[in-house]
Structure 1
Amino acid sequence: MNYKGYFLKTEEIFWDRKKKKIFNKKYTTIISNSDNIILHATNGIEVSEDFKNIRLKNISGTLPIK
């Protein structure tokens, strides 16, 4: 979980120290507790280590409607 409350759930994850990114090619879920957003990436993710830039591959999700 990062400082903004995003929780990342996956079976496998890698960290590229030189490129400062986190990535995988597995099914991944990102949950935001603060605004009830749930995102699913079926083909993996690429995330900057500070979680400011997130790239989800083959995405689906649930977004709240107000």
Structure 2
Amino acid sequence: MRFAVLTRDLFTCRICGVLRSDTSLLVADHIRPHRGDLDLFWDESNLQCLCKTCHDTVKQREEAAARRSGKG
């Protein structure tokens, strides 16, 4: 499923817009955290292609802020 998401998104990060040919630098990221919900975990429409840099910085900051505000 990871490769299907990367292909669907044309190997392009949905945050910074960078195209990566090296798929080891890409992540199939859950848009909404699944928190153990298997239906949400396997829902391809809940996945997006992010570069590892955006996933490990921007996305993690957003999720941490949402948890602190009680929205995550």
The two structures have a TM-score, normalised by structure 2, of 0.25
Larger fraction in helix: 2
Higher RCO structure (Cα 8 Å, ≥6 apart): 2
The two structures have a TM-score, normalised by structure 1, of 0.25
Q: Considering only CA atoms, is the larger Rg found in Structure 1 or Structure 2?
A: 2
